[in-house]
Structure 1
């Protein structure tokens, strides 16, 4: 089906390679034009600006922040691996875990524990991937500002779509997920 011909599943446009010149393959194409910002610029906002330094000055909804602490905050990943993919960041601009203060480390840990409880309650996930990529060579997309990933996982969330199609299916909108997590966050920890 060609994009724009009304085809697709659930309003999502797909294309079949057999509709084009060259050697067709068995794959359909799911267009995700919103990803061009990430592909072209590497991050949003401009690469000279740190999004983790800019986010706390913004409105929580616009910045996708779900909770704020004294030394660190929690926000949704703008380019999530799964719905509910959170990042826990210190306010202070430091690149690596060994540069964080004891207070920052303690609050990152505490916010991570709370995030796990909130995600388990709101998304009914079966587990988590938690980790930090320290340095660009280790896979950090934003290497200059420490951040910990918290990715909810479900027993049946793996499929071949990301591997073969190079696309991740996210069943929920970021704004909806942010609102649900923020509303479920314990008020004593906002």
Structure 2
């Protein structure tokens, strides 16, 4: 039994989420990820490491933070500290979206355009006051062929994939966006 006298009802924010759906011939499921549009800026392809990703603030990015300081996993270097008095962690990770639609520049431009078209189409359906108008699909990934998922299949499936080939959610997979062994849904799930 939960002691409700010790609970508090609060409103929280949904910043990102995955949806996986089964489609005929695709038991691996099609994996899609969605984010709040003000989570993090997109990295411009070819941006030098010393240059800021954006001059605007986002929920998980401070304006003018250089690319070299984005998506840094401070736990791996033992830099992350907890202030027990304020219950805050520092330093704060600055999140950036490495691949706007889950693909490196020029890799799958048809997929990228399809996502842009889909997001624009869906955005027109929302009432201006609807909270869902703030979210957009980043991308989706699936196997090219049908019934490709078989027992014993290696996790090195990159050549078998279609869609957003380097798909990551800036808030859920912040630190794995550029790790080729972890940068798509099938490397983890």
- Tell me whether the two structures share a fold, i.e. TM-score over 0.5: no
Q: TM-score range by the shorter chain?
A: under 0.3
Q: What TM-score results when the alignment is normalised by the length of structure 2?
A: 0.26
The structure whose RCO (Cα within 8 Å, separation 6+) is larger is 2
